[in-house]
A and B are shown apart, each in its own frame.
Chain A
Amino acid sequence: MTYEAVIGLEVHVQVKTRSKMFSRVAAGYGHPENTLTDPVVLALPGTLPVMNKEALDKVIKAGLLLGCEIAPECKWDRKNYFYPDSPKNYQISQYDQPLCRGGFVEIELPGPARNVMGEHKRISLTRIHLEEDVGKLNHAEAVSLVDFNRAGTPLMEIVSEPVIRSADEAFAYLTALKTIMVYGGISDCDMEKGQLRCDANISIRPAGATALGTKVELKNLNSFSFVRDGIALEVSRQVAVVQAGGTVVQETRDYDGQTGESKSLRTKEMAHDYRYFPDPDLMPVQVGEEWKSAVRAGCPELPFDKQRRFQKEYGVPYTITSVLVPDRELSDFFEEAARLCGRPQAAGNWIANDLLRELGAATLGLAQSKVRPAHVAGLVRLVEEGAILSNAAKEVFVDMFRTGDPPGAVVARIGLGAQTDLGELERWCREAVAANPKSAADFKAGKESAINAFKGPVMRAAKGRADPKRVDETLRRLLAQ
């Protein structure tokens, strides 16, 4: 029998705000322990929460980007449980009235080859709600040490429907989700900084069956590849259990990405009873059309929509768009360069190949690049006009990258202008024809390709600075005589 996996992902994404979700002390990462607290964050006696408008704006933005229905009204609930990283011993969250419902994430599965687009699919979402993050436990020898810097950071929980069918799909889902969040300025989704955290609910069932199997919750999937590897491992583990005649036990398992193994977490003695109830310290949120429109006005084009547009409008191939589009700044850079030179394909090639290669070699980000869209556009135009030749253009690009000089200035400085002494060019062509009478005869006899035999010697003589078009014209003129 073959089995199919049924996977639902719960993704927690830290929302990028300057202050915390329910108080105004700064939010941040990498600060000395317990320097980002205030009486509210530490849940000192007498403190009260006040929600952060920016966090609401950003979750609404996420909801709009993901096609969710934004709740006209939602409220805050307390989720009661004791844990040393939870200052109030309840988390302010949204229980039965999340800010967003429904929606989907468009994903791209791996294609048959790297340069071929894979299948696209929509992964439906159940809900997105807003809550607050907890502090961080650091485990020492005999004790645990609590740092509350992270406590109170706005946290968005994105819950997918159980419609993910494989580890690859889960990976593609997270990749697409991250791209959208970064595009929207909603979160940086840096998993190493804990800005994106993922739990997976996994079950298997005979292929084609509709009933759901017993699900296992997989935790601590703290990198994108661990998500993929952990899920793949869990699916094969469950299949092995069932094929050996066993049954899958409902449990929480911990995946260790370093060893590539998972183990069952000690089952908790007490069943969860979170005693959710509406937080009496907070008022409900009403999202009217006006608010939604204001947020919508700041929504970027979705990455896959942009990719389709680049391919259709600009005729840029998948191999280039798949490099440009996932990075919003890079794709903006491209569009600007394309607009300036009117040659999107050429601009795309320079950016996706030469610019990224140089940035990578110099370990720089796009923002630090001295080459700006105008440089790229200028270079494309110089080549287009035949002012420089493509090999020379490569050299000009490297120089621009280093110096930040405009392409024209670089050409003037290092003398890479195209060969323009027509007398000299004609002499090289005459010599080439004279040296190869057989090919000359072949060409005159109608063998078109024979002309190529003269081009190599001419280019060699010109040290690569001859304009191929002009060489071609000159050779044809001479051979016609």
Chain B
Amino acid sequence: MPKPDDLRLDHVANLARLALTAEEKERFAAQLGDVLAYVQQLNEVDVSGIEPTAHAFPVVNVWAEDVPEPGLSVEDALGNAPEKRDNMFVVPKVVE
């Protein structure tokens, strides 16, 4: 397991799309450093040959038949939009 000081806070905050203040960075680095140091204890566990558990009670092939049902009205769809125009959600111009 990597060392807890490898948190790479700037990179990770970038991936998470979170702007952090300098003060937050400092505080989080210390607090999460503690947490990461704590979770290092998982390295003690011998997990060789152990299957990961993704679901406590896995079942397979959970699906629905392809039968359409009514969706939201445009009004409801846009009901919480921070900004809307022409029945669409507005964002600042996206440069591709």
Which A residues have a C-beta under 8 Å from some C-beta of B?
A: 17-19, 24-27, 32-39, 41-42, 50-56, 73, 75, 80, 82, 84, 137-140, 142-148, 265-266, 270, 273, 275, 278, 280, 282-286
- B48 proximal to A (CB < 8 A): no
Of A37, A38, A53, the residue contacting B65 (CB under 8 A) is A53
- B71 proximal to A (CB < 8 A): yes
* Pairwise interchain contact B66-A286, C-beta atoms closer than 8 A: no
Nearest 6 interchain pairs by C-beta: A25-B71, A54-B66, A38-B71, A145-B88, A26-B68, A146-B89
A265 to B69, CA, bound (A): 40
* Pairwise interchain contact B69-A24, C-beta atoms closer than 8 A: yes
- B86 proximal to A (CB < 8 A): yes
* Pairwise interchain contact B54-A278, C-beta atoms closer than 8 A: yes
* Pairwise interchain contact B61-A38, C-beta atoms closer than 8 A: no
* Pairwise interchain contact B66-A18, C-beta atoms closer than 8 A: yes
- B47 proximal to A (CB < 8 A): no
Where chain B touches its partner, the secondary structure class is: loop
With both chains docked as a complex, state the minimum distance between the C-beta of A6 and any C-beta of chain B, in angstroms: 27
A-contact 0/1 string along B71-96, CB 8 Å cutoff:
11010011000000111111111111
Closest-by-CB residue of A relative to B85 is A145
With both chains docked as a complex, state the minimum distance between the C-beta of B9 and any C-beta of chain A, in angstroms: 15
Interface residues in B, total, Cβ within 8 A:
35
Known: A144-B92, A144-B94, A286-B60. 17 other contacts (CB 8 A): A17-B66, A24-B69, A25-B71, A33-B86, A35-B71, A37-B71, A50-B63, A140-B85, A140-B93, A143-B85, A144-B93, A145-B86, A145-B88, A145-B91, A148-B89, A265-B96, A285-B60
* Pairwise interchain contact B66-A53, C-beta atoms closer than 8 A: yes
With both chains docked as a complex, state the minimum distance between the C-beta of B82 and any C-beta of chain A, in angstroms: 12
Q: Provide a sorted-by-A list of 18 A–B residue pairs whose CB atoms are within 8 angstroms.
A: A19-B69, A24-B64, A25-B72, A34-B74, A34-B88, A38-B71, A39-B72, A52-B63, A52-B66, A84-B94, A144-B92, A144-B94, A145-B90, A146-B88, A146-B90, A265-B96, A266-B95, A286-B60
With both chains docked as a complex, state the minimum distance between the C-beta of B21 and any C-beta of chain A, in angstroms: 20
With both chains docked as a complex, state the minimum distance between the C-beta of A405 and any C-beta of chain B, in angstroms: 41
A283 to B62, CA, bound (A): 6
- B58 proximal to A (CB < 8 A): yes
Q: Which residues on the A side are within 8 Å of B67 (C-beta)?
A: 18-19, 24
With both chains docked as a complex, state the minimum distance between the C-beta of A43 and any C-beta of chain B, in angstroms: 12
Of A38, A82, A140, the residue contacting B72 (CB under 8 A) is A38
- Given the known interface contacts A34-B77, A39-B72, A265-B96, the answer about A53 and B87 at a Cβ–Cβ threshold of 8 Å is no
Of B14, B66, B69, B91, the residue contacting A84 (CB under 8 A) is B91
Number of A-B pairs whose CB atoms are under 8 Å?
124
With both chains docked as a complex, state the minimum distance between the C-beta of A407 and any C-beta of chain B, in angstroms: 43
With both chains docked as a complex, state the minimum distance between the C-beta of B95 and any C-beta of chain A, in angstroms: 7
Closest-by-CB residue of B relative to A135 is B89
Q: Which residues on the A side are within 8 Å of B17 (C-beta)?
A: 82
A-contact 0/1 string along B6-50, CB 8 Å cutoff:
000000001101000000000000000000000000000000000
- Given the known interface contacts A19-B68, A139-B94, the answer about A37 and B77 at a Cβ–Cβ threshold of 8 Å is yes
With both chains docked as a complex, state the minimum distance between the C-beta of A58 and any C-beta of chain B, in angstroms: 10
A39 to B70, CA, bound (A): 11
Q: Which residues on the B side are within 8 Å of A282 (C-beta)?
A: 62
* Pairwise interchain contact B64-A52, C-beta atoms closer than 8 A: yes
With both chains docked as a complex, state the minimum distance between the C-beta of B50 and any C-beta of chain A, in angstroms: 16
* Pairwise interchain contact A18-B61, C-beta atoms closer than 8 A: no
Q: Which residues on the A side are within 8 Å of B77 (C-beta)?
A: 34-35, 37, 42, 148
* Pairwise interchain contact B66-A55, C-beta atoms closer than 8 A: yes
Q: Which residues on the B side are within 8 Å of A41 (C-beta)?
A: 71
With both chains docked as a complex, state the minimum distance between the C-beta of A154 and any C-beta of chain B, in angstroms: 9
Q: Which residues on the B side are within 8 Å of A285 (C-beta)?
A: 60-61
- B1 proximal to A (CB < 8 A): no
A54 to B63, CA, bound (A): 9
With both chains docked as a complex, state the minimum distance between the C-beta of B54 and any C-beta of chain A, in angstroms: 5
* Pairwise interchain contact A35-B93, C-beta atoms closer than 8 A: no
Q: Which residues on the B side are within 8 Å of A145 (C-beta)?
A: 85-86, 88-91
Q: Which residues on the B side are within 8 Å of A17 (C-beta)?
A: 66
Q: Which residues on the A side are within 8 Å of B64 (C-beta)?
A: 19, 24, 50-53
* Pairwise interchain contact A33-B68, C-beta atoms closer than 8 A: no
